[in-house]
Structures are given as C-alpha cells and as structure tokens.
Amino acid sequence: MLTGKEERKWPVLNTLFMCQVWRNSLEVIVFLLVLQKGLKDNFADVQVSVVDCPDLTKEPFTFPVKGICGKTRIAEVGGVPYLLPLVNKKKVYDLNKVAKEIKLPGAFILGAGAGPFQTLGFNSEFMPVVQTESEHKPPVNGSYFACINPKDGGYLLEKYSEKYHDFGFALLANLFASEGQPGKVIEVKAKRRTGKLNFVTCMRQTLEKHYGDKPVGMGGTFIVQKGKVKTHIMPPEFSSCPLNSEEELNKWLHFYEMKAPLICLPVFVSKDPGFDLRLEHTHFFSHHGDGGHYHYDTTPETVEYLGYFLPAEFLYRIDRPKETHSFGRD
Ligand SMILES: [Zn+2]
C-alpha cells in the first residue's frame, strides 16, 4: 500500500505536454510536408507518408511488441554530467520504475543509454528494447549492449537477457515509450545523402525550423539498409582522470565504422524547453554483431534509411543533473 511518504528516488522535475502535430488531418499533412521538404535538402531520394506500423515482432526488428503506438512519451533520465568529467556511480536506474514514473506501467520502451554497470560490472552502450512489467504481463527484456573487449580492443554486441535478468541501466538514457500497439506511424524513406546532416539531425532541425519554440519530440526505429555508419562505444572502465572537454572525451571513446543492416533506436526533440535535454540520441543493434552509438553514415553515395516514427504526447525529465555542462552530447 502506498503511504504517500515514500521518498521519490528520481525526481521527475518537469513534465511537458508536447506540441500537438496530430490534432487533425491538416496538421498531419503539414507535418509530413515539412519533413519531406527538410529531408529533401539533405537526401537525393525522400518519401514521407503515413502507413500501418509493420509488425515489429518480425525480422529485422524482433521487438517484444508489434508497434510503437498508444500514449507516446519521451523520457530523458539522468544525463551526461553523471558520466563526465567523472562518473557518479550512485546513478543507477530501472526501466520498470521509469515506466511507472511516466504513468505508463507496461510501456514498451526503446532508446539509447548507458548499460547497467551495477549488474554487468563494466561500462557499456545500452540499447533498451523492453516491454515493462504490468499487472497483466511479466516484463520482457529484448535489450542489447555493446562493449569493448579488453583483450583485443574489438567490440562485442550481446543480447542482455541471455545472461542477465534485471531491467537496469545507468547514468543517462533517452527513451521513447508507448503502449507498444499497432497503428498508424510516419514512414520515412531517405536514400543517398547529399547534405552534411545525419538522418536524425536533419529531421530534428527541420522540425525546429518549422515549429520554432514549440518542442516536437519523436521516437521510433529506423533501419540503415545500406552503407556504413560511424559509431562509438565507451570503454569498460570509467575514466579515472576527469574528462573536461569534447577532445578529452573523444580520446577516451572507441570509434568504429559498422555496416548495414543496422536497427536503430532514435529519440529526438526539436527544441529544449529548458529541461537541459540531450536533443538527439540514437543507439543501434544488428544481427551480425555490430552495435553502438550512431553518429552519421560514412557512405553518402549508397546509404539508405527506412524509419517508422511517432511524435511524443508528453516529455518527462527524470533525475535531471543539478550541475550541468554542454559537452559530450554528440
Ligand atoms: Zn550514446
């Protein structure tokens, strides 16, 4: 029974009702045209439309739910200041609890974050793909993590539930939550990059230009169908000396080029309403051992993206760092 006296471990500092871009069919059409036009400035071949969400339980997604529809929310938990300049090891979280904090127990959650060092015993990139616990259903953890193999400096991608049975993560995460229902979604196809922006930044900046101070947040999944991407994976040990700049951080991270097909888990917000947000964050996994943090594709001539997205109805900021800085958000 709730006593009302329980200490809230991770304060939900801000909740925001996001800009409504789906109130009527005219707004949806405007939204599609805005995205189409913005992407066309950066890609040779673009097609934006509303479709029925493909069955995400099928290959290549293999998610525990069929879709990304119903009561969509974005949650940013913690932040880069808990990782840099030095790690704060008190900052550990649980996706089942996050689902309750955002008033959606049983939510399907995907996104990008730091792996649960509290369970793994080392630091890693985390790709949450979780149907959280509800009264009716036990939770399902379809998450992956990518880590550096200290023996040879190579990397490993593993399905989290193969060895571990908790729903933890740590330090920071950008999450997109929904009821995991089938339904209408925005399909985005973009081929051959002609501009400088990555796929996600292009959509985010396009929305910022059109919607201005009204933040629009989106999440979902996209596949890099052809080409390669630049990616990073954090080392297994946290840095013992403070990392105080983008340059120091980049010396600490391990960078790789990874090849399609990659299943990406993007979360982005067009404009920070003053919540100290990371505006975009995308991690990815694959079925051939590649996985990590997406920076951009390195093959503009051949790259092909296919994505399914929805705008979020609400934005939640959980356990926002009190002391902050602006580096390490690329
Ligand atoms: Zn990341």
- Cα(27) to ligand 1 centroid in Å equals 32
Sorted by where each starts, the structural domains of the chain and their CATH numbers stand as 13-47+61-183+196-318 (3.30.1330.80)
Strands (E), 73-143: 73-78, 92-94, 108-114, 125-127, 129-131, 140-141
Taking CA atoms, 86 is separated from 152, 237, 243, in Å, by 25, 11, 7
Mean pLDDT of 67-83: 96
What share of the chain has pLDDT > 90, as a percent?
Answer: 85
Residue 13 confidence (pLDDT) above 70: no
Residue 224 C-alpha from the chain's centroid: 15
pLDDT of residue 24: 79
Q: What is the 40 CA–ligand 1 centroid distance (Å)?
A: 27
Lowest mean pLDDT among 23-27, 71-75, 276-280: 23-27
CA–centroid distance, 28 to ligand 1, in Å, is 30
128-156 pLDDT, tens per residue? 999 999 998 999 999 999 999 988 989 99
Ligand 1 geometric centre to CA of 303 (Å): 21
- Residue 143 token pair: 């998450």
Tell me the CA–centroid distance for residue 278 and ligand 1, in Å. Answer: 10
| pLDDT reported for residue 26 | 84
Model confidence at 15, pLDDT cuts 50, 70, 90, reads: low
Give the pLDDT band of residue 9 (cuts 50, 70, 90).
Answer: very low
- Indicate the pTM of the whole model: 0.94
Task: Determine the distance separating the centroid of ligand 1 and the alpha carbon of 216, expressed in angstroms.
Answer: 21
pLDDT of res. 12: 54
Question: What pLDDT score does 23 carry?
Answer: 72
**How far, in whole angstroms, is CA 148 from its chain's centroid?**
20
Residue 281 Cα to ligand 1 midpoint, Å, equals 6
Instruction: List residues, by chain if needed, whose CB lies under 5 Å from ion ligand 1.
Output: 112, 293
CA distance 298 to 198: 10
Q: What is the tens place of the pLDDT at every residue in 203-262?
A: 999 999 999 988 999 999 999 999 999 999 999 999 999 999 999 999 999 999 999 999
Please check the confidence at residue 185 and state whether its pLDDT lies above 80: yes
- DSSP class of residue 238 equals P
Task: Please compute the mean of the pLDDT values over residues 110-137 and round it to a whole number.
Answer: 97
Give distance in angstroms: CA of 294 to centre of ligand 1. 7
Q: How far is the CA of 112 from the centre of ligand 1 (A)?
A: 6
pLDDT in tens, 281-329: 999 999 999 999 999 999 999 999 999 999 999 999 999 999 988 888 8
Task: Indicate whether 4 pLDDT > 50.
Answer: no
Centre of ligand 1 to C-alpha 264, Å, is 12
Q: What pLDDT does 2 receive?
A: 33
Average pLDDT, the chain: 93
- What's residue 19's pLDDT? 58
Per-residue pLDDT band at 18 (split at 50, 70, 90): low
What's the pLDDT score for residue 178?
Answer: 97
Q: State the DSSP code for 291.
A: -
Beta strands in 217-328 (DSSP E): 217-226, 228-233, 254-259, 262-269, 280-285, 292-297, 304-311, 314-318
Per-residue pLDDT for 11 more than 70? no
For residue 267, report the phi and psi dihedrals to the nearest 5 degrees.
-135, 125
Mean per-residue pLDDT, 22-51: 92
Instruction: Please tell me the distance between residue 4's alpha carbon and the centre of ligand 1 in angstroms.
Output: 35
pLDDT at 14 (0 to 100):
59
Share of the chain above pLDDT 70, in %: 93
Q: Is the pLDDT score of 3 beyond 60?
A: no
